[in-house]
């Protein structure tokens, strides 16, 4: 692969990676958020595969494909299943009071009222991106290659993921925020050091998978106990 083409493709993958994080911030429908998150997983896998192909390290390519399967396939599938469980549990519970239930249903699959409204979140994301670029500047200057130049993209996704995590109310939106954060960390690791050792990567991946499984169960339990997945309702202690 020629150098110019490699740089172009890497830039394109990084651009798509960052854009997906921004769209997650922009969207309200949880189903759409999960779909975009899956696309981000593909972009992340593309970054890893490109780096591996460029440096002719085939283990990196294999790790990239594994990451793609996990983050674009398995994790979105798990979240979608939790989402389906939330919506399917509705009608059986209380057939009466249809209207109130329907409203609750639409609120359950949508992030209707984030703590910070969407316009302000988007502008904050702009600031966070600039912050990431400013913070990564000294790192980039150490060894300016196409991969390290894209390093701020990973940091920006970490910050945006953290922002989603603290400003969203729905449990599943927060799970996606957590996964964005993890995607950002993985991307940073790839771009800065061409990937961590295989065993660490495997450990992290399983960790994330287990975390999502646990959070999925937790979400369903929350829904059973409180009737909603709004995290703000968890302020008071219950016995």
Whole-angstrom distance, CA of residue 211 vs CA of residue 40: 19
Nearer residue to another protein within complex by CB, 15 or 91: 15
* Residue range at the interface with another protein (CB under 8 A); choices 48-56, 97-105, 124-132, 185-193: 124-132
- What is the closest distance, in whole angstroms, from the C-beta atom of residue 177 to another protein in the complex? 18
- Residue identified by tokens 């302000």 is 120
Residues numbered 150 to 169 that lie near another protein (CB under 8 A) are 150, 152-153
* Residue range at the interface with another protein (CB under 8 A); choices 65-73, 107-115, 122-130, 211-219: 122-130
Q: Is residue 51 within the footprint of another protein (CB under 8 A)?
A: no
Return the closest-CA partner of residue 69 out of 230, 222, 208. Answer: 208
- What is the closest distance, in whole angstroms, from the C-beta atom of residue 150 to another protein in the complex? 6
The alpha helices in the chain, defined as continuous H runs, are 3-26, 30-55, 58-68, 75-93, 98-108, 118-142, 146-149, 151-167, 171-193, 198-226
* Residue positions counted in the chain: 239
- What is the closest distance, in whole angstroms, from the C-beta atom of residue 15 to another protein in the complex? 3
Whole-angstrom distance, CA of residue 25 vs CA of residue 163: 9
Q: Which residues of this protein are in contact with another protein, per CB under 8 A?
A: 8, 11-12, 14-16, 18-19, 22, 26, 117-119, 122-123, 125-126, 129-130, 133, 137, 140, 144, 146, 149-150, 152-153
């Amino acid at each position: 692969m020629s150098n110019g083409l490699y740089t172009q493709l890497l830039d394109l993958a990084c651009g798509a990676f960052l854009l997906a994080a921004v769209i997650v911030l922009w969207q309200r429908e949880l189903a759409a958020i999960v779909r975009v998150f899956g696309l981000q997983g593909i972009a992340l896998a593309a970054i890893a595969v490109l780096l591996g192909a460029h440096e002719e390290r085939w283990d990196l390519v294999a790790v990239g494909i594994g990451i793609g399967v996990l983050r674009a396939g398995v994790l979105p599938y798990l979240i979608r299943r939790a989402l389906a469980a939330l919506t399917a549990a509705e009608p059986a519970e209380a057939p009466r009071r249809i209207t109130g239930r329907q409203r609750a249903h639409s609120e359950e699959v949508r992030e209707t009222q984030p703590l910070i409204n969407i316009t302000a979140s988007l502008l904050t994301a702009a600031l966070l991106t600039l912050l990431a670029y400013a913070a990564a500047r000294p790192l980039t200057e150490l060894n300016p290659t196409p991969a390290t130049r894209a390093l701020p993209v990973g940091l920006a996704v970490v910050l945006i993921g953290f922002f989603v995590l603290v400003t969203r109310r729905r449990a599943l939106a927060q799970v996606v925020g957590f996964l964005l954060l993890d995607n950002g960390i993985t991307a940073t690791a790839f771009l800065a050091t061409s990937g961590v050792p295989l065993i660490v990567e495997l450990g992290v991946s399983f960790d994330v998978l287990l975390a999502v499984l646990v959070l999925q169960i937790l979400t369903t339990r929350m829904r059973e106990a409180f009737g909603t997945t709004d995290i703000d309702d968890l302020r008071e202690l219950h016995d």
